[in-house]
Amino acid sequence: MVNEECRLDLAHQNLEYVPKSLIKNYQDVVQIIDLSNNQIRDVSFLEGCIQLTSIIVDHNELNSDVVFPRLPQVKLLWMNYNWLTKLYPFVERLAYSFPYLEHLSLMGNVIVPPLNEDTFYHYLQYRLFVISRLQRLLYLDDRAVTEDEKEEALRLYRRPQEFGEKFSFTGMVITAFSKVRQIVDPVAMGYRQDSQRPRLI
């Protein structure tokens, strides 16, 4: 079932859950797991996959409360077209589970604003917050993470606990959003009226 690329393909199997007994047979060798196009809502079965570097769970039923096992070796996570509706604390948990994550795609979820003229600032706010929490990201969705984005993300979304402040996610977002509106030009950031975001899958 695991091919020469150490890839375990369980896509399009109508799975609601993957038995740990199945994963146990491959957890020491599998590096890429494809679980796309199922009905999975829980991913605790991934615990113990010590060689895993890439997780593809597009088109499932994972919501914002999902908790991934801590897998520091994972570099790529695709969660396109799931049931993600709340950015916080979902992204905080991702940062704990995947501290070295480099490629993250969440397209097709409610938490990702569409990229158009009316929602541009909300889209930018989403990108900067995710980048601030996953500081090793190279790609977010279909766009490379720039050094300017990293710098601005850390400036706008500093962690209040580092400064002895009371944490308020809503307050942090409002403050950052007002700053973004003052300093960012959609055209300068690469937005075009006729641009379209390609699908990864």
For residue 73 the two structure tokens come to 């070796």
Q: Are strands 143-144 and 7-9 parallel, antiparallel or unpaired?
A: unpaired
Burial of 133 (0-12, 13-18, 19+ CB in 10 A): buried
Structural domain span for residue 14: 1-112
Residues 77 and 12 in one domain: yes
pLDDT 10s digits, 10-69: 999 999 999 888 888 888 999 999 999 999 999 999 999 999 999 999 999 999 999 999
In percent, how much of the chain has pLDDT > 70? 77
**Residue 88 covered by a domain:** yes
Report the CATH number at residue 9.
Answer: 3.80.10.10
What is the model's pLDDT at position 157? 87
Looking at the structure, do residues 119 and 92 belong to the same domain, yes or no?
A: no
Question: What global pTM score does this model have?
Answer: 0.79
Residue 34, phi then psi, degrees to nearest 5: -110, 110
Residue 193, pLDDT score: 42
Same domain assignment for residues 63 and 157: no
* pLDDT (0 to 100) of residue 128: 96
- Verify that 120 and 169 share a domain, yes or no: yes
Let me know whether 128 and 48 are in one domain.
no
Same structural domain, 82 and 170? no
Q: What's the pLDDT score for residue 120? A: 87
Q: Which residues of the chain have pLDDT under 50?
A: 161-165, 167, 181-188, 191-201
- Tokens in use for 56? 């593809």
> Within a domain: residue 194?
no
How many domains in the chain? 2
> Would 201 be classed as within a structural domain?
no
For residue 200, being part of any structural domain is answered with no
